[in-house]
Amino acid sequence: MVKESIHTTTEMSEPTIPTVFTLKNSIWIHIITWGGYMLLSTLIFTEVTAMKNLIFKNVISALLYAIPVYVNIYYFLPRYFMKGQYVKYYSIISLLVVLIVPIIAYLQYLILSSTDSTLYYEYFSIAHYSSILITATMIIIISTSVGHTFNAIRTTQLQRELKNYKLEAELKFLKTQVNPHFLFNSLNNIYSLAVTESKDAAPAILKLSDMMRYMLYESRGNKVPLDKEIGYLRSYIELQKLKTANEQQIQFTIEGNVTGVMIEPMLFIPFFENSFKHGNVIDTDQGWLKSILRLEKNKLHFYIANSVTHEKRNKDAVGGIGLENVRKRLDLLYPKGKHEMHIELLPDSFTVDLKLQLS
With 0-12 CB in 10 A as exposed, 13-18 as middle and 19+ as buried, what is 25? Answer: exposed
pLDDT band at 178 (very low <50, low <70, confident <90, very high): low
Find out whether 258 and 227 touch, Cβ atoms under 8 Å: yes
Is the model's pLDDT at 274 over the cut of 80? yes
Q: Are 17 and 348 in contact (CB under 8 A)?
A: no
Chain centre to alpha carbon of residue 137:
40
Which of 160, 187, 221 terminates a domain? The answer is 160
Mean pLDDT of 48-58: 58
Q: Are residues 69 and 212 in the same domain?
A: no
Let me know whether 57 and 140 are in one domain: yes
Are 206 and 337 found together in one domain?
Answer: yes
Kindly report the three-state secondary structure assignment for every residue of 241-292: HCCCCCHHHEEEEEECCCCCCEECCCCCHHHHHHHHHHCCCCCCCCCCEEEE
Is 231 within a domain? yes
Q: Are residues 116 and 221 in the same domain?
A: no
Pick from 144, 158, 170, 167: nearest CA to 16: 158
| Domain identity same for 331 and 258 | yes
Q: Which of 65-79, 92-106, 145-159, 257-271 has the highest mean pLDDT?
A: 257-271
Please choose, from the candidates 320, 248, 235, 245, the residue with its C-alpha nearest in 3D space to the C-alpha of residue 283: 245
Percentage of residues of the chain with pLDDT beyond 90 = 15
At residue 330, the 3 state secondary structure works out as helix
Domain of residue 55 covers 27-160
Q: Is there a single domain that holds both residue 213 and residue 335?
A: yes
- Residue 278 within any structural domain of the chain: yes
Amino acid 91 reads S
Q: Report if residue 222 sits inside a domain.
A: yes
pLDDT at 347 over 50: yes
* Residues 184-220 pLDDT 10s: 767 887 888 788 888 878 888 888 888 888 877 777 7
Report yes or no: 355 and 340 within 8 Å, Cβ to Cβ.
Answer: yes
Examine the domain organization and report whether 209 and 317 are in the same domain: yes
Q: What is the average pLDDT score of the chain?
A: 76
Here the CATH number for the domain that contains residue 235 is: 3.30.565.10
Residue 301's Cα: distance from chain center in Å? 25
Number of domains in the chain: 2
For 47-65, what is the mean pLDDT? 64
289 lies in some domain = yes
The answer to whether 289 and 279 have CB atoms below 8 angstroms apart is: yes
Q: Are residues 225 and 349 in the same domain?
A: yes
Q: What is the pLDDT of residue 322?
A: 65
Residues 223 and 341 in one domain: yes
> Domain for residue 179, yes or no?
no
Residue 46 and residue 145 in one domain: yes
- Return left, alpha or beta for 91; rule: phi > 0 is left, psi -120 to 50 is alpha, else beta: alpha
Q: Is the pLDDT of residue 69 over 70?
A: yes
Q: Which of 288, 318, 290 is nearest to 302 (CA)?
A: 290
Q: Partners of 357 in the beta sheet?
A: 299
Q: Considering the domain boundaries, does residue 270 fall inside one?
A: yes
pLDDT in tens, 95-132: 888 888 888 777 777 777 666 555 555 667 788 788 88
pLDDT at residue 2 above 60?
no
CA–CA–CA angle 196, 197, 198 (5° rounding): 90
Q: Percentage of the chain surpassing pLDDT 70?
A: 72
Q: Clarify whether residues 44 and 151 are in a common domain.
A: yes
| Whether residue 156 sits in one domain with residue 283 | no
Phi/psi at 3 (5° precision): -135, 135
Query: What pLDDT, on a 0 to 100 scale, did the predictor assign at position 179?
Result: 56
**3-state class percentages of the chain: helix first, strand second, coil last, to nearest 5:** 60, 15, 25
Selected residue with higher pLDDT from 169 and 59: 59
105 is a domain residue: yes
